[in-house]
Amino acid sequence: MVEQGKIKVFKLSVEGKEQILHIYGPGHTFGEVPVFEGKNFPASSMALEKSVILFLPRVKFVDLITQTPGLGMNLLADLSRRLREFTVQIENLSLKEVPARLAAYILTLSKEQKNEKRVTLPISKAQLSNLIGTTPETVSRILKKMTDASFIEVQTKIIQINNLAGLVELSESGSLA
């Protein structure tokens, strides 16, 4: 469980390319899969900044589940939520182009940040490119196109959303001129 900081869960290709699966902040648990399924971890993880992580040994964790009414159900709900998230990620990777994925990410950020029109990137653009399955160069170019189309304004880590409807449409299907 992340106590403080931010960790990424990711896969690496043979050539060293990285695909981020999740980014977790304080309060989130991760790494349960091998507890219930008994094999190795399905992915790697790494702190993105100075972090404090709590570790609960497998046996204690299983004890806790059997002894705590409702905990099992909460875990089922948590794993289900992650399945849903993966579903969205597969949809994005397979069925959407990079501009749509980037637009979707900005919109997700805005929702996470109280629906603010001015959002702060919580990660570097390089990490962002690994999250949405592209390269830093492409992120750079598409942010520029979004700016040229007056959808957003970018100032280092801050993105100001100027055309929410435009971004929503772009995230669903659209493409940039």
Interacting residues toward DNA by CB under 7 A: 15, 17, 97-99, 124-126, 133-141, 143-144, 154, 156-157, 175
46, interface contact from DNA, its own copies, none, CB < 5-8 Å by kind: none
| Least CB distance to its own copies at residue 78 (A) | 9
Beta carbons within 8 Å of 45's beta carbon, 6+ residues apart: 7, 8, 9, 10, 30, 31
How many angstroms separate the CA atoms of 2 and 4, rounded? Answer: 6
By CB under 8 A, tell whether 173 contacts its own copies.
yes
The residue with tokens 């598409």 is 142
Of 78 and 116, the one with the shorter C-beta distance to its own copies is 78
| Least CB distance to DNA at residue 98 (A) | 4
Residue from 43, 53, 109, 123 in contact with its own copies (CB under 8 A):
43
173, interface contact from its own copies, DNA, none, CB < 5-8 Å by kind: its own copies
How many angstroms separate the CA atoms of 142 and 135, rounded? Answer: 11
| Least CB distance to its own copies at residue 69 (A) | 9
Of 99 and 133, the one with the shorter C-beta distance to its own copies is 133
| Least CB distance to its own copies at residue 2 (A) | 18
Which stretches of the chain bind its own copies, using CB under 8 A?
11-15, 17, 19, 21, 32-39, 42-43, 65, 72-73, 75-77, 79-84, 86-91, 93-96, 133, 172-173
